[in-house]
Structure 1
């Protein structure tokens, strides 16, 4: 996948949306800025969280934009790789948890 081309295309699409729905786009940008600035968590830590969520939600655009922002915030390849490991674990972990609930539901509902 060519992430540079993907992000260019997505930026063009969001620019088109912004032209017809400026207030909605402005609201998202305002929320983004408020959430992503340094606070108790650094911007870098927040960007790594966004990468993990992008992976979990299977959003290539999110992955690309937040990897780029994480790099700008000082993230290393090793930090991104460790973030990917956590995302993989969480992608499998919820299946394990909900799978156990499915068996619990079967046991309760089959009586």
Structure 2
């Protein structure tokens, strides 16, 4: 399994480096992310769980790392993350099972920090 904490840090550094090369794009992406997860009718926690489910179904390692991390930071419980993985499996089939395992490992690794 991957080291999700290291993966999270590496991607964060990569995004910072991209911000130096394409600042307008990365600033806009950052604002989009901030706006999308801001509390509204749905809580930030719910939005992060939705993003995690999507990350699993589209098979994005970095997205899994970020959204497990951010869902925990937004107050998601282990059970809520596991149910999100279950819904992603429903929608994504076999490949989502594999990435669901990745998300479960990310949860285990990020919980060490909590």
- TM category (shorter chain) comes to 0.7 to 0.9
Q: CA deviation at 1:16?
A: 1.0
Distance 2:9 2:75 in 1: 22
Q: CA deviation at 1:11?
A: 1.1
Q: TM-score, normalised by structure 1?
A: 0.81
Distance 1:66 1:72 in 2: 9
| Structure 2 gap segments, 5+ residues each | 94-114
Matched, 1:61 2:100: no
RMSD after superposition? 0.7
| Structure 1 gap segments, 5+ residues each | 93-111
Which residue number corresponds to residue 30 of structure 2? 29
Matched position secondary structure for 1:39: coil
State how 1:77-92 maps to structure 2 within 5 Å: 77-92=78-93
Matched position secondary structure for 1:40: coil
Q: Which has the higher contact order (CA 8 A, sep 6+)?
A: 2
State how 1:1-111 maps to structure 2 within 5 Å: 1-92=2-93
Matched position secondary structure for 1:9: helix
Q: CA deviation at 1:15?
A: 1.1
Distance 2:56 2:16 in 1: 24
